[in-house]
């Protein structure tokens, strides 16, 4: 059997001001960015893209004026009060009917 030498793989850490992490045979294991740290992950990049799109969409929104807000608020309050009055009347009718049926004098 021939004697085959297997090249040793060294795992060394670079020690310098521009160190970006461990390297193997002169090739960095972390792809660094300009600041020397690891690059943002794909999820982080997707989050940044999403937030940029949200910011753009927020610029495209047209908010209602004070007159429109006031008029729709008055309409909503009127509908709520009318519905509350209707529920109160129906409740009073049901209470009186049940009171007569359940507590009828014999």
Instruction: Report if residue 28 sits inside a domain.
Output: no
Residues spanned by the domain of 84: 64-106
pLDDT at position 83:
98
Domain count, the chain: 1
User: Which pTM does this prediction carry?
Assistant: 0.45
Instruction: Report if residue 6 sits inside a domain.
Output: no
> With 60 as the cut, is the pLDDT of residue 20 above it?
no
Tokens of 8: 């040793």
Q: How many helices (H) and strands (E) does the chain have?
A: 2, 3
Q: What is the pLDDT of residues 57-89, one digit of tens each?
A: 999 999 899 999 999 999 999 999 999 999 999
Instruction: Report if residue 55 sits inside a domain.
Output: no
Beta bridge partners of 22: 13
Instruction: Report if residue 16 sits inside a domain.
Output: no
> With 90 as the cut, is the pLDDT of residue 22 above it?
no
pLDDT at position 40:
65
Instruction: Report if residue 43 sits inside a domain.
Output: no
Instruction: Report if residue 46 sits inside a domain.
Output: no
Instruction: Report if residue 54 sits inside a domain.
Output: no
């Amino acid at each position: 059997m021939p004697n085959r030498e297997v090249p040793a793989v060294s795992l060394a850490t670079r020690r310098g001001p521009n160190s970006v992490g461990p390297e193997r045979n002169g090739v960095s294991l972390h792809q660094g960015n300009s600041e020397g740290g690891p690059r943002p992950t794909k999820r982080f990049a997707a989050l940044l893209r999403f937030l940029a799109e949200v910011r753009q969409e927020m610029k495209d929104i047209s908010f209602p004026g004070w007159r429109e807000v006031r008029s729709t608020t008055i309409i909503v309050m009127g509908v709520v009060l009318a519905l509350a009055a209707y529920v109160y009347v129906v409740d009073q009718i049901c209470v009186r009917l049940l009171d007569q049926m359940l507590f009828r004098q014999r």
